[in-house]
Structure 1
């Protein structure tokens, strides 16, 4: 069990060990007057969150809000189970996501299609959330969690249509979910600052993603709190890298979709091409090719490849 990390005053990060991997998905804890969690990961992560809260001296009964940036299972799959431990909490969600938390049958079906027989081990149980315990927040919404802190919500599609981001004025930071990509603290410790876009299926849209990031830029942020994983204090570099890799992702995927008509094979080829490019980029910066981060990178790139193939087949009239 890793101890929660303090990122700034009243902002802590618990490692959720999503997919049994350290530093893949995290839960942020705002220890304000109304204690607030941001993201829960999937249900197998809930014991880690409860243990982390215990370390911080926070009782689940003290939690007022559980905020999920979007309803993908690695961010919100455990929200219903977590809520059973938090008698006084409400789950805060995007207007387009609320009905899927109240009735998760479509989420479950979608995840089973992707993960097959691994579904139970990775995600069970997915617990319905009673509608009276859901709170909807959308563009321009605010949530006062203490005298000095009011969170502000921005509608930020691109990764998913049911995605908002949460501005934290006291730290001039944004809880960006997956809209502004993935940060790899494992590489940061090796002296390599590295960010990638996350283009998972099935609502990925590059134009919307770039537009959402341009809104982040307008805020003049000093911090990004990523869904995957941790905090960066260099937002301009994050945006630069994510935009640059997004172009690469699209170009490489387009080439594959033009040449290969079978979507399953497209995903396989896109994954390999992107993974090879990333590996070359990192080994050129001195990272040994035996570094354990490559396992995580392959996983992330494979999910992104699925979204790229889906998007390009939809927009270029490729075959499914």
Structure 2
């Protein structure tokens, strides 16, 4: 059976696929296999297609063995390749939150929204042409839906806060959540003597702090032993990481509100967020220097600042 350096078996029939987006071990998709049937969770971008299919080859499975492609939400680093992947999988259905389903059937508004954040040229260069999925192959999820993968139940729950079109997937066998962006991000470079460092992601345009904290609390009710992050990989020590995540959500909200009326709000948000993350990493014993931390988090700092700005403006409009 072939082996590939971008695949890692995690046990319980789960393989992590490094999609190759941005840098190594930055963006993950997962393949779940049970009794010869398979499901993908998240897809990365179009460039990930060869790696996604190689994960099937490594399991000795054909394209027809895939029953589901489940996207946690429709941001393009999670769902950009879903349409292209579905073209290769004759029996699969795309499972997506109902708010995201129309954007998988017709990606034009999704691409336009990403272009408003990143710029049209950057979106085209980074994500390629996002392929639509025929409506008849799209299955909209609902809160509490259970998918049957050859007898393995996969529970889907709504998890707003990062995005209103976000759901997470519970695997009872491994007692873990495929958390998309709801449980934040934790790059492997952030392994410290105090364990992995994890931070929230508040990217535009639907960050909502209280729903996000409620989603995390709801996931913890299942007493998970691990989380499968898209950014990046399996993390354990779930309780302390959840406390770390919630503390930082609150700290980011305090920072944003302090700067709500600042003329140079975005620049000061970026500076404040970078400082906050460096301090948290230092407190956990990270040996990375400031330049390396800033390099690893440059994109996240920019996007988190933009998302906090959108949230502040929405709060101001609602209060008017």
User: Is TM more than 0.5 here?
Assistant: yes
Query: Are the structure 2 counterparts of residues 3 and 109 from structure 1 closer, same or farther at C-alpha, using a change threshold of 3 Å?
Result: closer
**1:171 paired to 2:174:** yes
Which runs of structure 2 are paired with 1:212-223 in the superposition (5 Å)?
A: 212-223=215-226
TM-score by length of 2: 0.92
Residue in structure 1 matched with residue 315 of structure 2 by the alignment: 315
1:129 to 119, 129, 133: 133
Give the conservation status (yes or no) of the 8 Å contact 1:3–1:52. no
Q: Deviations over 1:151-195 (max 9, x none)?
A: 111111111111111111111111111111112222227764200
Residue in structure 2 matched with residue 297 of structure 1 by the alignment: 297
1:76 to 75, 79, 102: 79
- More deviation, 59-68/279-288: 279-288
Which runs of structure 2 are paired with 1:46-125 in the superposition (5 Å)?
A: 46-116=49-119, 117-125=121-129
Distance in 1 (alpha carbons) for counterparts of 2:19 and 2:192: 20
Q: Deviations over 1:77-113 (max 9, x none)?
A: 1100111111221110111111110011111101111
Query: Are the structure 2 counterparts of residues 82 and 189 from structure 1 closer, same or farther at C-alpha, using a change threshold of 3 Å?
Result: farther
1:32 to 13, 31, 34: 34
For structure 1, list consecutive stretches of 5 or more residues without a partner in the other structure. none
- More deviation, 222-231/53-62: 53-62
Give the conservation status (yes or no) of the 8 Å contact 1:180–1:213. yes
Distance in 1 (alpha carbons) for counterparts of 2:153 and 2:291: 41
| Structure 2 SS opposite 1:31 | strand
Q: How far is 1:129 from its partner?
A: 0.6
Give the conservation status (yes or no) of the 8 Å contact 2:32–2:38. yes
For structure 2, list consecutive stretches of 5 or more residues without a partner in the other structure. none
| Structure 2 SS opposite 1:179 | coil
Distance in 1 (alpha carbons) for counterparts of 2:149 and 2:293: 36
Residue in structure 1 matched with residue 268 of structure 2 by the alignment: 269
Residue in structure 2 matched with residue 138 of structure 1 by the alignment: 142
Tell me how many residue pairs correspond in the alignment. Answer: 312
Give the conservation status (yes or no) of the 8 Å contact 2:15–2:55. no
Query: Are the structure 2 counterparts of residues 56 and 301 from structure 1 closer, same or farther at C-alpha, using a change threshold of 3 Å?
Result: farther
Query: Are the structure 2 counterparts of residues 156 and 286 from structure 1 closer, same or farther at C-alpha, using a change threshold of 3 Å?
Result: closer
| Structure 1 SS opposite 2:260 | helix
Distance in 2 (alpha carbons) for counterparts of 1:60 and 1:228: 26
Query: Are the structure 2 counterparts of residues 87 and 158 from structure 1 closer, same or farther at C-alpha, using a change threshold of 3 Å?
Result: same
- More deviation, 176-185/92-101: 176-185
Q: How far is 1:310 from its partner?
A: 0.3
Q: Deviations over 1:268-317 (max 9, x none)?
A: 32112111222233245242316755423121121111111000111034
